[in-house]
Amino acid sequence: MSDAQGDPRRRHSAKVVDGPGKSASRAMLRAVGFTDEDFRKPQVGIASTWSQVTPCNSHIGELADKACQGADAAGGKGVIFNTITISDGIANGTEGMKYSLVSREVIADSIETVAACEGFDGLVTLGGCDKNMPGCLMGMARLNRPSVFVYGGTIMPGKGHTDIVSVFEAMGAHSRGDMDLIELKQIEETAIPGPGSCGGMYTANTMASALEALGMSLPGSSAQNAVSEEKREDCVRAGAAVLKLLEEDIKPSDIMTRAAFENAITVVIALGGSTNAVLHLIAMARTIDVALSLDDFTEIGKRVPVLADLRPSGHYMMSELVAIGGIQPLMKILLDAGMLHGDCLTVTGRTLAENLADVTPYPLDQEIISPLSEPLKAESHLRILYGNLAPDGAVAKITGKEGTHFSGPARVFGSEEEAQQRINDGTVVSGDVVVIRYEGPRGGPGMREMLTPTSAIMGRGLGNEVALITDGRFSGGSHGFVVGHVTPEAFDGGPLALLEDGDLITIDAQENTLVVDLSDAELARRRANWQQPTPRYTRGVLAKYARLVGSASEGALTDQD
């Protein structure tokens, strides 16, 4: 029989397997391979998001095995369990995309459920597709047990330097008549060459970088190719690292501090990362009881420049950044410039500054990361907008290539599908501000990404001539003059619900405003005549989500205080 005495690392598993009263528990575990010796070891849950659903996660089964081996070799007992993943890239533009943000909550719930039920002492979580990462971190934060996150790694470029966004934009070009079916099929067949997360600084690579900067991944984990020996070694080291964290009793709450979240925001800005980072970082911070708001992105953005020339707005892919050293040299540049908090603790048991002390600088001839003296943009590309269309805030990704000001008549649509149809048939024309409403967390429900309509706009050659605003959100692959996360959302009676075709909308990314040229009296008149739509779902996970979810400006959480 197991005996936990003298091993404080087993504070959770001991309650499950120790003593004569736990013979039934041990009998069950013997059937899955536990030995007498294993019952004396700290148990490390390995949360795998392996699935054939998407190339982002199709290799993670092997990586979970490596993490388990690392935990076992370091004196623990690794136990692999699965949680779900969905694929944004596959579901985009369909009703199925409504389940995407919902999956973040399901992942967090399932990790908390399994680890708390089974009494794991520590955790390794492995994620690939967009919602896996914040979902894993939220689960780890709720449990607050020694934990390490491992990123599944980035995909390699497709033929002709293509990726998933190339396919979406090719679809837009085909609908315009600029690309025939043979060319479209050639891109379709070659753009996704194997396992790994989407190859630009889209949401997956953005969040992986943010989590490394946060201190919850081992150094280098965010910038490794999915199919590589480096990634396999990263997993082994992560399994072993949890045993060290257990030894030193270092928990997520010791690492995920306010200063650490500021580091994560800083790195996201420098990399030109996805707007989804705003949503997810706020959600993660609130889960670990750290105060973080939309306005923090504005304040930090005033002093942090965009340095990385990465897709979707730039030229290079994550695999090319991996080849010159990943994000560690960039973090060293930011640290030396006083832009990062070097005293933040990380999952290595050392501080961020200690981790970065011996980092090799980028090659002198590289062109991906600009010097601080010559940034691509002097301030953040992530703009938090307010105004009579967004009293509680909205999020835009404005690199400067789109300009910083757009004004035009509203072209209003009540769903993504309706907007997509009207973009493709030529109803949307140069100068329009496309409004897609009732796609927020509650109204959608699920706050779908608008990659399909934004890619259609690009594919039809309107990228610099049309703006788009929505209470939904955007893929990290979206670019152009786009504003999302408009709050309050239309379903809750936000001003977006009151717009009519032809209303003059102005987006100003210098003054950080989003306004419609209507008087307060006119808005009040329209509000008096507005009725909340009937919920689109009354049963199942989407209906449950719609009843529980909070505002996008507060992270769109379902487990709120």
Q: Kindly list the catalytic residues.
A: 475
CA–CA separation, 299 and 80 (whole Å): 41
Q: Are 158 and 191 in contact (CB under 8 A)?
A: yes
Closest CA to 456 of 422, 500, 490: 422
Rounded CA-CA distance 230/504 in Å is 53
How far is it, in rounded angstroms, from Cα 467 to Cα 525?
A: 27
> Are the C-beta atoms of residues 222 and 133 closer than 8 Å to each other?
no
| Residues contacting 71, CB < 8 A, separation 6+ | 44, 46, 77, 78, 124, 239, 240, 242, 243
Nearest to 195 by CA among 220, 160, 231: 231
Checking DSSP bridges between strand 43-48 and strand 433-436, what pairing results, if any?
unpaired
Question: DSSP states of 6-28 as a string?
Answer: T-GGGTTTHHHHBSGGGHHHHHH
122 neighbors 76 (Cβ within 8 angstroms): yes
CA dist., res. 170 & res. 173, Å (int): 5
Distance CA 404, CA 399 (A): 8
Per-residue DSSP letters for 258-320?
A: HHHHHHHHHHHHHHT--THHHHHHHHHHHHTT----HHHHHHHHTT--B-B-BTTTSSB-HHH
Largest Cα–Cα separation, the chain: 75
Q: Could you give the CA distance from residue 391 to residue 214 in angstroms, rounded to a whole number?
A: 30
Give the HSE-up count for residue 289: Cα atoms under 13 Å, Cβ half-sphere.
7
Strands 122-127 and 77-82, by their bridges, are unpaired
Measured CA to CA, the distance from residue 514 to residue 386 in angstroms comes to 6
Amino acid at site 53: V
One-letter amino acid identity for 465? E
The letter for the amino acid at 539 is R
User: Using alpha carbons only, what angle is made at residue 429 by residues 424 and 431, rounded to the nearest 5 degrees?
Assistant: 140
| Cβ contacts of 6 within 8 Å, gap of 6 or more | none
Find how far residue 166's CA is from the centre of its chain: 20
Q: What is the 3-state secondary structure (H, E, C) of 489-523?
A: CHHHCCHHHHCCCCCEEEEECCCCEEEECCCHHHH
| Structure tokens, 159 | 């033929």
